[in-house]
Chains A and B, each alone.
Chain A
């Protein structure tokens, strides 16, 4: 499929900007270099990926969100019955209304913090189906929409209860439309980690929490009261989210020392994601303030600037985040230092 790239800023001007090395121009220069990379290299393998110009160069603001919520009524046929359209009033059904609000808040984070217009960067409509299946204890992104179960009532409550879960699922769509990280082994763990990172950021954005105030938990509030656990995962302390006599213990590693080699779970994508999750937390913790600002920008830049291959390993990704930090903030910046230090702490070779 031919991807048509339309440059709002003409290439000759991009080249002039790219060569600027005066202080104060570094952001514009790096943005121009990125845009030139998109113009000059043709990404034939990722037909779905549309290069998105960095916020500094785009002249078009993200458009309004367009949400549709469906009810599968306990069956597994998608999308189900339409129950709420964009601008429609609350339905009174908690799952439907939580999905509606969660989609809106996720769209708002991407638009306000990163200048991204929806999941594909081009205003993709956001669809979610709730009440999928019977006692279905899961939520997923199916390639075009989000799907949420009601939980089994035993271990899990309904999955729309957690804003970080809603953000997590939508972030899979963003990854699909950008780096397209393969869903297996280390690339898959990075894919999962991206979803945890941006899921956590939506929750923090909604609550207006700084990195210090945030819980850094994914899926907090999903467990029923009988479970000995706080959440599905902890980005701050992977491996500590739950320890229950029935569920067992959170299996996530917090550094490469305890990397899990397995063929289950597509090569442990939800398990080894603990390592890059912790790296993101460490960057946010070191820099302070709102984590969607510098840390989020570095991660978003890495995900979307076209330099990350679909089969990226932790090391490839780590190097890309270090480069992104240098491009955005300068090589001698606290941001660049925080990113290097984070990967060193979790023992990913850069």
Chain B
């Protein structure tokens, strides 16, 4: 299962991506409780929906877009708390490129409705 965290916004407005490929049974069993703890159904699933749902964005804060298998969530930084924060911090630490890959410019594939 691929876990992907994409971070956009911020004053520097650089897109960064952390990816984890949880392949072994051991990996998956470590990730399961982290993923299960997150209320996927209770939050928006795209950055556009997140922007609409959270009324007063704080200027220059990040926006996080999280994908884990078929599940997706999008949250402004100030809402990245509790289990979401644990998920993101764990993904960042576990990512192959722990500094995160920079993506030159925002990625809109998710907005076009294409399957992940």
Contact = CB atoms under 8 A, between A and B. Distances in A.
A105 to B, nearest CB: 18
Contacts of A251: 13, 104-106
A183 interface: yes
Interface residues of B, number: 31
Given A246-B102, A248-B105, A265 B58 contact: no
B42 interface: no
A140 B60 contact: yes
Interface stretch (A200-208, A267-275, A288-296): A267-275
Nearest to A271: B13
Contacts of B51: 184, 263, 266-267
A143 B51 CA distance: 17
Given A184-B51, A247-B14, A195 B59 contact: yes
B10 interface: yes
A163 interface: no
B103 A143 contact: no
Interface string B57-100: 11111110100000000000010000000000000000000010
A247 B104 contact: yes
A195 B13 CA distance: 14
Interface string B11-40: 111110000000000000000000000000
Interface string A238-281: 00000000111101000000001011111110110000000000
Interface of B: 8-15, 46-48, 51, 56-63, 65, 78, 99, 102-108, 111
Interface of A: 137-143, 152, 154, 156, 159, 165, 168-169, 172, 183-184, 191-192, 195, 219, 222, 232, 246-249, 251, 260, 262-268, 270-271
The 7 closest A-B pairs by CB, nearest first: A248-B104, A264-B106, A270-B13, A263-B48, A140-B60, A172-B59, A251-B105
